[in-house]
């Protein structure tokens, strides 16, 4: 079944980190934009003649809530005409054409394993959607461990929100690794050290979800499969590039 096209209106733009913005969209004429936590939408941006030049996909960062609102967490890429257009041309009140939702990077209906979410940068967006969905829907789940990587403190996305959830949401843990800040009191380096230490002994009751750039994902998948000997069906990932 083909996906429907919508004309969303940008209601608010927030700078949430250097070179990262959160775009809040509303979909006129739609009471509820239905999607599953972890899915994405694909924008048709006026940045080229061909479809592959114009279409850019972004994960939905908010939880399904029965409204017509969407939140997208987008980083400005030096080599990306899509994000360049969104940062330079799009304002509050602008219309953006998009289709969706789409994607199979979603949680199972029945969650029978602990969830380990591994991400860097805006790869946290689908996990924010999943975590908030589990929180607000009351769906049954086990433990959740969010492992986030960035260069410095100013690059930590949704930090206050996740730190609050770590104190208030039963079973939720939150760890951050920073690769370029020596005075950071937490993990210094990359995300890999965290899961390699925390989950060194393979367990069948864990599901790993990984989101980010291809190099990070390739390394994480290799570590989990080859070094730690987890089964392939325990590993799920979404590529950003």
For 10-33, the DSSP string reads EEEEEEEETTEEEEEEE-TT-S--
d(C-alpha 46, C-alpha 168), whole Å: 43
Judged by phi (left if over 0) then psi (alpha if -120 to 50, else beta), residue 29 lies in left
End-to-end CA distance of the chain: 26
Residue 114, pLDDT score: 98
Residue 110, pLDDT score: 95
d(C-alpha 83, C-alpha 60), whole Å: 15
Spell out the per-residue pLDDT of the chain, length 241, in tens.
Answer: 678 899 999 999 999 999 999 999 999 999 999 999 999 999 999 999 998 889 999 999 999 999 999 999 999 988 888 999 999 999 999 999 999 999 999 999 999 999 999 999 999 999 999 999 999 998 999 999 999 999 999 999 999 999 999 999 999 999 999 999 999 999 999 999 999 999 999 999 999 999 998 999 999 999 999 999 999 999 999 987 4
| Domains of the chain in sequence order | 5-102 (2.40.30.10), 114-239 (3.40.50.80)
Question: Which among 37, 54, 51, 57 is positioned nearest to 100, based on CA atoms?
Answer: 57
Q: Are 60 and 71 in contact (CB under 8 A)?
A: yes
Residue 1, pLDDT score: 67
Q: Are 132 and 125 in contact (CB under 8 A)?
A: no
Residue 235, pLDDT score: 98
Q: Which strands, in side-by-side order, build the sheet including 20-26?
A: 55-59, 40-44, 95-102, 5-17, 20-26, 69-75
d(C-alpha 43, C-alpha 23), whole Å: 13
d(C-alpha 222, C-alpha 188), whole Å: 21
pTM for this predicted structure? 0.96
């Amino acid at each position: 079944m083909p996906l429907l096209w919508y004309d969303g209106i940008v209601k608010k733009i927030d700078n949430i980190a250097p070179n990262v913005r959160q775009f809040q969209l509303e979909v006129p004429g739609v009471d509820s934009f239905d999607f599953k936590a972890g899915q994405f939408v694909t924008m048709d941006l006026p940045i080229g003649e061909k479809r592959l030049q114009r279409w850019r996909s972004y994960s939905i960062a908010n939880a399904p809530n029965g409204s017509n609102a969407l939140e997208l967490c987008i980083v400005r890429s030096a080599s990306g005409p899509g994000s360049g257009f969104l940062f330079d041309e799009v304002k509050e009140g602008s219309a953006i054409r998009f289709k969706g939702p789409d994607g199979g990077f979603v949680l199972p209906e029945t969650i029978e394993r602990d969830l380990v979410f591994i991400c860097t940068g805006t790869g946290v967006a689908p996990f924010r959607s999943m975590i908030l969905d589990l929180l607000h829907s009351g769906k049954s789940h086990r433990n959740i461990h969010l492992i986030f990587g960035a260069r410095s403190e100013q690059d930590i996305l949704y930090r206050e929100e996740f730190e609050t959830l770590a104190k208030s949401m039963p079973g939720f843990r939150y760890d951050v690794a920073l690769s370029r800040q020596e005075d950071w009191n937490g993990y210094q380096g990359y995300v890999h050290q965290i899961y390699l230490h925390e989950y060194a002994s393979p367990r069948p009751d864990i599901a790993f979800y990984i989101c980010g750039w291809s190099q990070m994902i390739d390394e994480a998948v290799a570590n989990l499969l080859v070094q730690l000997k987890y089964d392939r069906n325990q590993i799920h990932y979404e590529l950003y590039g």
